[in-house]
Amino acid sequence: MQQAFDRPSSPRLGRHMVRIAAPLLALLLAGANDPEQPYRSSPERRIVEDRRDWGPWLGPFRAKLVPSMMQDFGERYLYAAANAALPPPRKAEQRVVFIGDSITDGWDLTRSFPGQPYVNRGIGGQVTAQMLVRFEQDVVALHPRAVVILGGVNDVTGVLQVESAESILANIEAMADIATAHGIAVVLCSILPVNDDGEAARNVVRERKPAELRRINAGLRALAAKRHFAYADYDAVLADDRGLLRAGYARDGIHPLPQAYARMAPVVARALQRALTRSHTSI
């Protein structure tokens, strides 16, 4: 009895089957893509519907910010003119650049550190991925001796993109790597504690879970120890017994008042002294 998969008895029939099968096989190997569509390695983008209520401040902020960031995600335009106008550091000048979000942006460095050549490059609302994008322009190009990096409190809210502790730490380490490659001493800063005291701060702790902030801070401390970076532990001087921001240090649970900045200043000053001393001895 003849088997079902014997070769066809007619050579013509065999050639005809090959002609039919070859295009089908090629289509299968190509992943059955529409031949009219150009090749693309990546899968389809997912469509996400944002149903979250971002509140009376973050809602309008996001609506204004997202279209702008489609053109300049790092918002490098904000300090472009100031960077161009800033002269190179003098020979013995120990210039320091502070890069961060609104907590850095709102810090009057000239008041906290009078006479020091400290440059503020904070931008309110930014996440660490944006700081990384602008790091070359807003830090490296200014030729500082040291950089103070503070970020992450906006990342954990998912205000722009969902971030994990690991991705936040990776962004901060990438900035530190760039600084190190250019001979710039690095100070890593702990994320500040938050609280939910008062109506303006009612959602702060829910959106910025203290346990997550502490986890990131533990990672920052470990990174600083591993890489021999200086570490400015703001949390140690600003947190209460519950691990929340001390009462009276912010009106909205997040942004420091002058009395909080006064506690932070000596912490970062000591960290900078350590960083610059290490940098000097390694030259």
Residue 54 to residue 62: CA distance in whole angstroms: 8
Is the separation of the CB atoms in 97 and 119 below 8 Å?
Answer: yes
pLDDT tens by residue, 121-145: 999 999 999 999 999 999 999 999 9
Number of domains in the chain: 1
* Tokens encoding 198: 């008062």
DSSP bridge partners of 99: 121, 149
pTM higher than 0.85 for the full model?
no
| Assigned domain for 216 exists | yes
Is 154 exposed, middle or buried, given 0-12, 13-18 or 19+ CB atoms closer than 10 A? buried
Domain around 238: 55-280
Is 260 exposed, middle or buried, given 0-12, 13-18 or 19+ CB atoms closer than 10 A? buried
What is the b/e burial string over 223-258, where b = at least 16 CB atoms within 10 angstroms of the residue's CB?
Answer: bbeeeebbbbbbbebbbeeeebbbeebbebbbbbee
pLDDT tens by residue, 83-103: 999 999 999 999 999 999 999
| Assigned domain for 115 exists | yes
| Assigned domain for 45 exists | no
pLDDT tens by residue, 200-228: 878 888 888 999 999 999 999 999 999 99
Query: Dihedrals φ, ψ of 50, to 5°?
Result: -90, 105
CATH number at 154 reads 3.40.50.1110
